[in-house]
Every structure is written in structure tokens, then in C-alpha cells.
Structure 1
Amino acid sequence: MRHPHMSLRGTTAGAATAAVLLAGTATGVAPTARAAAPAQPPATATATDALPGVRFVDITGDGGVVLKANVFTPAGADGSRTYPVIVLPTSWAMPQIEYVAQARKLADSGYVVVSYNSRGFWQSGGHIEVAGPPDIADASRVIDWALANTPADPAKVGMAGVSYGAGISLLAAGHDKRIKAVVALSGWADLIDSIYSGRTQHQQAAGLLSGAGYLTGRPSAELQQTMKDFLGSNLDKEQDMIEWGRKRSPVTYLDRINENGSAVMLGNAWGDTIFPPNQYAGFYEKLTGPKRLELRPGDHATSEATGLLGLPNDVWTNARRWFDHHLNGAANGIDGEQPVQLKSRSTGAYEGYPDWKSVGATQRKIAMGGAKTIRANVDSGANGGTVLLSNALDQFLKLPPMASVPLLPRAYASVWQSERYAETQRVRGTAKIHTTLSSTKESGTLVAYLYDVGPLGLGKLVSNAPYTFHDRTPGKPFAVDLELFSTAYDVPAGHRLALVIDTVDPLYIEHNPTGAQLTFSSPESDPSYVSVPLRDK
């Protein structure tokens, strides 16, 4: 059960983690037998004329649940020919009109587009299963309906979505061989690594998602219990929760996705506070079919948001190019570009790489020498910001979370700094920390931050990540290896990098018993360091 001293800071903390779970759970799995079976009889549908060029229909999903949907077809479609079809499951808590602007553009480009409200939300029936088996079965049912009721080509089926819709699309690609191409934006590949990274609950993100789920939908009983255990830090149920998340993670079905051969395009933001980019990058490396990875500045779904409003947006432009090539065979050059496309937070310029391993190929270590002890339970002032807001400010105004590094209280924050750099340091990829830790208590949480520190000591956040431990022997040192969230950031000449570690951050639920102290050391036989990935000149 939850440690009596574990802190859940405010009601949003609990709700928060739950929400993250919700989103992550969206990675549910569909029954293998159903996915492998031939297309089922078409589900019933009723249509009403509402907006020009769109039909609003009811599609019967798994178990008879009614899914509210809308359908766009190319102008002049008269049944004399077929068109590639794209299925769009909605994002978490979003209504069925979410993709109207992009669906119209796709239809104008020669696609049949069917967008549907995920079960449990808004007017669709059923309960929120967080991308569980019913959600994946729904995706196949919607494809069945499209093939039976629209001029859709059964050999040219694609799926796409943002956030929850991205997770469902990836999972469906591992369970329905008809899906030839996927575009998954701001989604997840590994639910646990997203919402429970470093064995730490991401409370603000969970609170946001949880609140939105209850306001716009109907959480299932299983989801409610899982959230209760997760938010309550019920360690007796930890393995059950991890298994629950594993079943809802596309990476679990990587072999099926690779066997089915879908062309997969992944897009995410460097500062995504719900689904951090690391787990997408790791998943991308393991895909064996046609693939593309795009990472940009911003937070959860902020990179593609303007496209949902119908405004020019390079994320959606590349999504259409991906479908044009892999469903229609268009020679548009996307297959000849470097498959890993990164947009720098500092310059806004795109950089191409042949694979993720080539990003940040050069490593520079900053020594974490000496022994430093900090007290827990007090926020030092070093923080990762506010969910959605802080990284959106970084995206649009280049204003990341900041802290005055010289003024951080050393009783509550340990600080290690590099020398001042004579040249710009182009940080690309995933910084990694290795250190030796001992605690006066059996449980605890630490949060690590990497700052770009200017001449006056003002630090701009480059990256961060949490780490939680349980059942450790008080006073006995143990090794800690922690990956910070991946990024692309330029540290100007004359600046330095600083690693800061404290124990409290409003983004995360912390597990520090009252009076706990953490000591970081660097044994001669096993030196401590932070390894910073740099782009070669």
C-alpha cells in the first residue's frame, strides 16, 4: 500500500496521474482473432445532411456500441471508381468534428475519410476503455463499414490520429492487416514509459486528462479502479498496473506491426508533458517497415493544433505526403528524404538524420564529482514548468522554464556545472545521468534538470526527468541511471550547462518521507557524470 509519508500534492496530483494513465491506456489492444479474421458484415449507419460535403453517420462498433462518425468523399465520386480511405479516431475528450478541416483537405486530394468519436466519449456509446480491446475492435469495424458503404479501396487503407487517436491507430496497425499506412501524432508507443517514467507518476498531465475524461465521457469500472490504485500509489498493485499498461502499448505488439508491414510516420514535440519523445524514438528504431520520425518544439499536440483549425501546418502537410506516397504511390520525394526530421528549439531549422542513433552521436561528459547531500520535501525553485503552458511558450516565444542557478538553495538542490563553452554546443538527443545515491529513508523521489546557464546565472531549461525508488536499505548506496527527456537545443558560446537535482516538482508526484535526505557521491571506481549528446559540426 501507499507509504504513509508519500505525498500527493493537492487533488490534481491524484487526478493528474490518473489522467496520464487514461491517455496512456489509450494504447489498448484488440483481440488477435478478430483482427486476423476477414472483414465482418457492414455495420448499420444512418446519415443526415448537415454541412456541405460531409455525412454524419452512426456506425455499429464492437459489442453493438454506436459510434458517432462523419464521412467525407471526393467531389464527384459516383461509385464508378474507388479511392484510398483514411480512418481517424478522435483524440481524448475531443468531439467527432475534431478533424473536419483536415478531412476536407484529404477528400479534396482524393481520399475517402471516416472520422469517429472514440467509444465512451461525447455521444458515442460505451465506456472509456483507454484503447483497450474494444477500441481496437472498433477501428476494424469502422474500416468494415467504410468498405461496405463508401467508394473505399480495400487495398489502400490508412489510419491517423492525434494523441489518443494516434495510440489507437498504432495498435490497430498491429491487429488489422488491411492498414497499409499510419500517421501517429503526439501519441505513445510505451504507456508505462510515458506516464510512469522513472517509476514516477506525472501528476499535472494526469489531472488534466482525468478531468477532461470525466467531463466529456464515461470511464469504465476497470479504468476507475486502475486510476485509484495508480494515484493512491498502491504498490501492491504496481505489477498489475504495469501489465495493464503493457497491454495498451504498441511496442508490445511491435512484431505484429512489423509483420503487417504498415508504413508508419511518428510525430511528437520535444516538450510533450503527456507522452515524452523518448518512448517514440525508441519505438521508431525498432520498426522495420517504411518509417519516418518528426520531432518539433512544443508540448502535447501543439505542433499539429493549427492544422486542426485548417491553417497551414507542416505536420499535416507531411502527413498527406506520407499517405500520397504509401497509399497512392505518388513520387513526391518523401521516401528520398532523411527519415528522422528534427526541428531545433533554438533555431527553428529542420535537420535530417538517417536514423535515431545518428542524433547526438558525440557524447560529452560533465563530471558529478564530490559528495552532495540535500534535504527532501522542499521545492528548490528548479521546476519543469506547467503542463501544456510552459513548453508552448518555449515553442512560440522561446521562453522555457527558468531558474537562477546561483540562487538555488544548496540545502535542497545539488548543482554541478560545466566550464563555459567557447563554441555553441548543439545538444541533440537524450542526455543520461549515472550517479551513486544513498538515502536516509527506504523510498524517495529526485528530479533532475539540465539548464543552459548564461553569464548572469539565469538558467533556461534544456531537459528534465524524474526518478523514484522504493524498498532501499537506508544509508546503503546504489547506482542510479536516468535518461532525461530528449531534446534539440543550442547552448550559446559563453554559456555553460548545469545539472540540478532536487526532490519536488509540481509536474510529478513525489515519494519522499518526511525528513528524508539524499546523498549523491562519485566513487573512484564508478564515477558519476551526466553524458550530453552533441551534434557533430
Structure 2
Amino acid sequence: MPTRMRRANRRPLATAATAALLAALVTPAAAQPAAPRRSEPVYSYDDAVREAVWVDTGLDGDGDGRTDRVAVDIVRPREPARQGREVPVIMDASPYYSCCGRGNESQRKTYDADGDIVGMPLFYDNYFVPRGYAFVGVDLAGTNRSDGCVDVGGDSDVQSAKAVVDWLNGRAEAYTTRTGTRRARADWTNGRTGMIGKSWDGTIANGVAATGVEGLETIVPIAAISSWYDYYFAQGAPLYDSGPDRLSDHVNSPGARAACDAVQRELVGGAPRTGDWTPLWTERDYIRAAGKVRASVFLVHGTQDLNVRMQHVGPWWDALARNGVERKIWLSGTGHVDPFDFRRAEWVDTLHRWFDHELLGYDNGIDREPVADIERGPGQWVTSAAWPPRATRATTLRPGRGTRPGVGTLGLRKGRGTETFTDDRRLGETDWAARIDTPTPDKAGFTTVPLTRDLRLSGSSTVTVTATPTTPTAHLSAVLVDLGPATIRDYTDAGEGITTLADRTCWGASTPGDSSCYKETAAKTADVDYTIVSRGWADLGHDTGTGEGAPLTPGKPHTVTLDLAATDHVVPAGHRLALIVAGTDRGLIDPPADTPALTLDLARTSARVPFTGGPAAFARATAGSASHAPGATPLDGVSAPSTVHHVPEGGQ
């Protein structure tokens, strides 16, 4: 892993590791106790303290004249406080605790007659509380038992969670009731906090880390957003037919729905369907604030996640790398799935060791292990010492005309001529890939020769397209495809690569109101003739780099660079690598207002693809020559700086 950045002004560790260190200063070497390497379940879960507090955020999102308080449900071991010892905190801040539930079994919080937590979703409290951690479940502002309004990744969301970290470190006020005046103190914790969560929850962990708040030692974002613009748009092309207002309304508590009209109007007005970059998106772009991150980051994502797409991985990973943040990553072949449901035993063990290292200070060696775990096939995992590998180089591939229209070549030599296709909003990437060798009017496809050796792509690609449209609006899709048979996780199935079984396994202690036992899962697989490797989309009218779109001039060439999502994939020997350029990718982007035909200038169209071994590796795998290919520098992270996050001056 990269060298860990300096973390200043942290509260001291009050752990067995500290005790061992102090003992070493006063005890002869022969009598020194061994430093602990793993926390053990020595505390009672039955007797754990279960309580609720309301933390003052300092904000008044619902405009009622009072600062908002967010509900914080706590499960912590009772024994350490009795012994005068403090414990670290694992925290999941979520909007989903009452509306939708968490995890594969959609668990919601349950309470006793006094309003204290009985059932906490997920296994974190069952497993970690007996091992000397407190678990904290935070209702984001506007949800469940919290005041305020949901603003979908903005200041209210982030600050409502950050305020809890501040309270845990003695910098904010909390109260024993939602409206009362009796204060609650976090005198049972040393303030060292790790945030974890999937989807929106993990997104909030990213956002809080990007504030640089002291006391947040690590985050574990699972399938999380790093820039909310990229959740709704891809370089001006809309990914959904709705905006953040609909998501906010979905999770707001009934009281918040009645009080948050102003916030809803702001979400509508600040997220125009044109795909233009606005100040609303700047506020919700955590990548821009990555320089403030003090916490380490253990990132988990599915390479076939079509909800929170892999575009949220590359730029965030790059930015963290540039700022020297300690990082670790798991990449699965699933869609939007938690690692507890695709690699359960290994995940619980790895997460345990990660929190022991980051929050308890145990030297268990996890920081010296490979940075990346990557799923090559269903249940088949490999590791990588660095990610992407240090031998990775961006290689320029160029499309060329073939002997039939729309069926061209892909290699190192510069192409000539043109290819024309017509946007067909009824079709998408699977249709194009299935007919890659057939001339069709809806796409332009380009393929390498069959590879003579394996070729690994690792990181983010870009595709630069010069296209002449026939209409004032046009959307583009660029897709990299591995052409050849394979068995993959069936990410298009309802389970997105997993099947839920009837048997249960248990992970921690249980009480009558909170079981640690969960249904097991198995890989849901599919045999395919091709594998989608990476995707990117853009509105051709957003080709100026200003963040604002403009109508196209029919008959005039326009050049745009599409950012393809990060990935890690090996194209096996005997397979071919394909580049497809087309219009609307059905189900993944919305169509433009018109139905354009687009003519590609092949001499001004190219792909920059990160291969392990660079141009030479590609040349060897295709039995070609890389002598004329431009050199490239190693990638420290995923890619060169992304074009997606260029915001015009004055757009803050």
C-alpha cells in the first residue's frame, strides 16, 4: 500500500495494544506480553448497552427555527465502561433504516417501549460489539426519527453524519431525547470511528471523509457514489428519467415530506435534465475534496454494477492516490451486491482484521497484504500487489475500416475513412455485442484479431470520437467487449449475480430481538459468448469542456472524449477485444430528442486502454508491432485525470 499519510490530533488509543506498549516500557524484555493481533468476543452481547441520543447538527434544514437533531442508535459493550476503558466506534449512517431496510433481507430498526434499539440491521453489532467495539446506526437528517430534510448527498446529508463523529470526539452536543434539554456525553468512546455502508450509506462515508473530520480513522464504502452528477448523468447524457428530488421523497419521513418543499424545489432546479453542471453538483462532488481525506479507504465495488456504476471508482481512487491515502480494494463480478453476500467468510475475516488494524491499532499485517482482490470468474479470486499493476500503461488503439460496413478492425495503426450508424433507442450494448460481426445500421464495431496470449486491462479507458450528426441532438455510447465464451456472474438477473438460499449461517452473538444469522447465498452464473468489459456515454453537445451543453450543428464534426468506467479484466488468448461506438444504450442512458445518424471520422477516433505491459503487451498478444505506438507513463491509480469533473471558472 502507499505510505500512510500523517494523521494529526487524534485521540490516543485506549486498547490492549496500548497497554502492551506501556508494559514494554517498564517490563524486562523476557517478560513482555505479546502484542495482540486479533480482537476476541470477550464481552457480553446480551448485556450490551442499547441507547439512543439525538445529536445537534447545527443546521435548520426544515426551516422550523430550531437546529436539527439526528437520531443515533447505539449498541456498545457494557464492561469496558465499568472498567474505565474507552472503545472505538463502527458507524453506518443511512437513510434506509425505516423506509426500505438494509441488507439482502431488508432489515429495519426495531425498538422497545422506551425507544431504545432492539434490532439493529446487519451483522456489525452482533459480531463487533462482543469484540470491544461500539456500533452506531445514524438516521440521516429527514429520515426515521431525525429532524431536517434529505438533500441527497448535500450538506444536510453529510453534516448530519459528520456531527455524530464530532460528538463522539467531544466537539458537538447530543441529547437524550429529540426535543429535551438533558445532554448526553460520549464518555465511553475514544472517538476513533470507522464508517461503513453500502450504496447511499457508503456514499455518506465518502462525503464525511471528504470533510477531513478528525476522529474518522477509516471508511469502508461499498458500491458507493463519489460524485452525484455521475449517478444521474454521463457527460451530459441522462442515466435516469428522474432526478434527486424523487430519491429524496422516497426516503424522507412523513414529517419531512410535509416540511421540506423548499429542499425539493432546490433539488429540481439544481439538477436540470439538460445534464449541465450546476453548483448543486459541485457541492455533491466528493472527488474535488479528496485532498481533505484523512481516513484510510477500503473500497468495494461490483464491476457490473449498473446502479452505482464503476465510474464512481476510477476518479475517486485516483484522487485518493494523489493525496497519499492508504487504500485497499475488492472488485467483484457482481452488480449492486454487498460482499457479505458474495464472499461472506472471507469478507467478515478481512473486515475484522481491517477494523482491528485501523481502530484498535493491532499490527496484524493487513497493511502489508496485496492492495486488491479481484474476482476473475464466479468465486475465483486473485490478488494484485498494487492496483492497477505498476506495469500498466495506457495504449492508444485505433479503429479501421473492414471489408464490410460497420465491421472494422482495432489495432495500433491509424485508421482511415468513415463509418456511419443511426441511433436506434430500442437496442443496447448486448444487442450490439451479439451482432458484432454482422453489418447492422445501429452501431460501428471494431475488433482485434484473436489474441495469441492473455491481455489484462486494469484501470480506466477513454474513447475519443469525432462524429458528424444529422440532427441538433445526439448521444454516444462506447463499449469495450471481450468476444469469446465465458462463465460469468449473471448480473442482469434480479439477484445481480447471487442466489439467496434457505440455509442460514451465524456471524456473532444473538438476542431474541436481534439475530446474527443470515440466509446463505451462491453465485448465480450465466454462460455467455461475450463479456461487456467497460462502458461510457456522453451527450455530443457537451463537447466544449465548459460543463454546459449546446445544440449541435447538423453536418458539422464534433469531437468528444468519453470516460469509460474503471475495470480489471483479462481477455484470454483466443478471444478478441472489441470497441463498439453507437447511440442510445437502451436501459442505461435515455435517448436524445432526435434520432440522429452519425458519421465517425476514423482518423480522429481512438481509444486509450490501460494494458498491463502497455503497447508492447498488446502488440505481442496480436502478433503486431508497437514500434510506432506512443510511449506512456505508469499509472499511479487508475487513469489520467478524468474529463468528467472539469468545472468552469465561476461554477463553484
TM-score, length basis structure 2: 0.63
Q: Distance in 1 between matches of 2:261 and 2:459?
A: 39
Hey, what does 1:469 align to over in structure 2? 540
Q: Distance in 1 between matches of 2:262 and 2:123?
A: 35
Hey, what does 1:246 align to over in structure 2? 282
- Equivalent position SS for 1:454: strand
Q: Distance in 2 between matches of 1:190 and 1:286?
A: 17
Tell me the CA shift for residue 111 of structure 1. Answer: 0.8
Structure 2, unaligned runs of 5 or more: 1-8, 12-44, 61-66, 102-107, 110-118, 170-183, 401-414, 487-527, 542-549, 618-652
Tell me the CA shift for residue 101 of structure 1. Answer: 1.1
1:227 and 1:413, CA in 2 relative to 1: closer, same or farther beyond 3 A?
A: farther
Tell me the CA shift for residue 239 of structure 1. Answer: 3.7
Hey, what does 1:134 align to over in structure 2? 156
Among all aligned residue pairs of Structure 1 and Structure 2, give the percentage whose two residues are the same amino acid. 20
- Which of 289, 292, 314 is the aligned partner of 1:278? 314
Q: Distance in 2 between matches of 1:231 and 1:313?
A: 41
Structure 1, unaligned runs of 5 or more: 1-35, 39-49, 385-400
**Does residue 1:312 correspond to 2:344, yes or no?**
yes
- Superposed CA offset, 1:264-311 (max 9, x none): 3222221222242323332332332333233222222x033538xxx9
- Equivalent position SS for 1:203: coil
Hey, what does 1:373 align to over in structure 2? 420
Q: Is the 8 A contact 1:383 1:506 kept in 2?
A: no
Q: Distance in 2 between matches of 1:208 and 1:459?
A: 34
- Which of 298, 301, 304 is the aligned partner of 2:334? 298
Name the amino acid aligned to 1:67. V
- Superposed CA offset, 1:145-171 (max 9, x none): 546545543352332222222222232
Q: Distance in 2 between matches of 1:98 and 1:160?
A: 14
Hey, what does 1:432 align to over in structure 2? 462
Hey, what does 1:391 align to over in structure 2? none
Hey, what does 1:532 align to over in structure 2? 609
Q: Is the 8 A contact 1:366 1:418 kept in 2?
A: no
1:103-142 correspondence to structure 2 within 5 Å: 103-142=125-164
Tell me the CA shift for residue 412 of structure 1. Answer: 1.2
- Equivalent position SS for 2:434: strand
- Equivalent position SS for 1:76: helix
- Which of 74, 77, 83 is the aligned partner of 1:74? 77
Hey, what does 1:172 align to over in structure 2? 208
- Equivalent position SS for 1:474: coil
Hey, what does 1:460 align to over in structure 2? 531
1:433 and 1:227, CA in 2 relative to 1: closer, same or farther beyond 3 A?
A: same
Tell me the CA shift for residue 124 of structure 1. Answer: 3.0
RMSD over equivalenced CA pairs, Å: 3.5
Q: Is the 8 A contact 1:380 1:502 kept in 2?
A: no
Name the amino acid aligned to 2:264. Q
Q: Distance in 2 between matches of 1:313 and 1:207?
A: 37
- Superposed CA offset, 1:164-197 (max 9, x none): 2222223223242222222222222222234322
Q: Distance in 2 between matches of 1:509 and 1:231?
A: 16
1:89-488 correspondence to structure 2 within 5 Å: 89-90=93-94, 92=96, 93-94=100-101, 95-96=108-109, 99-146=121-168, 149-150=185-186, 152-173=188-209, 174-203=211-240, 210=246, 213-214=249-250, 217=253, 218=256, 220-221=260-261, 224-225=264-265, 228-229=268-269, 233-234=273-274, 238-240=276-278, 243-257=279-293, 261-273=294-306, 274-276=308-310, 277-300=313-336, 302-306=337-341, 312-345=344-377, 348-356=380-388, 358=390, 360-361=392-393, 363=395, 365-368=397-400, 369=415, 370-383=417-430, 403-407=434-438, 410-454=440-484, 458-470=529-541, 471=550, 472-488=552-568
Q: Distance in 2 between matches of 1:142 and 1:91?
A: 15
1:82-93 correspondence to structure 2 within 5 Å: 82-90=86-94, 92=96, 93=100
- Superposed CA offset, 1:433-484 (max 9, x none): 2232111223210112222223899433222221112233322223222222
Tell me the CA shift for residue 518 of structure 1. Answer: 0.6
Hey, what does 2:587 align to over in structure 1? 507
Q: Distance in 2 between matches of 1:69 and 1:232?
A: 34
> Hey, which of these two has a bigger chunk of helix by percent?
1
Tell me the CA shift for residue 416 of structure 1. Answer: 1.0
**Does residue 1:492 correspond to 2:558, yes or no?**
no
Q: Is the 8 A contact 1:441 1:513 kept in 2?
A: no
Q: Distance in 2 between matches of 1:522 and 1:306?
A: 44
1:135 and 1:303, CA in 2 relative to 1: closer, same or farther beyond 3 A?
A: closer
Q: Indicate the larger mover: 285-294 or 208-217.
A: 208-217
1:114 and 1:512, CA in 2 relative to 1: closer, same or farther beyond 3 A?
A: closer
- Equivalent position SS for 1:125: coil
Tell me the CA shift for residue 352 of structure 1. Answer: 1.4
- Equivalent position SS for 2:91: strand
Q: Distance in 2 between matches of 1:90 and 1:285?
A: 27
1:190 and 1:411, CA in 2 relative to 1: closer, same or farther beyond 3 A?
A: same
Name the amino acid aligned to 2:395. Q
* Rg (Cα) greater in structure: 2
Tell me the CA shift for residue 222 of structure 1. Answer: 5.3
Tell me the CA shift for residue 383 of structure 1. Answer: 4.2
Q: Distance in 1 between matches of 2:243 and 2:280?
A: 19
Tell me the CA shift for residue 114 of structure 1. Answer: 1.1
Hey, what does 2:5 align to over in structure 1? none
Q: Distance in 1 between matches of 2:77 and 2:87?
A: 8
Q: Distance in 2 between matches of 1:285 and 1:419?
A: 35
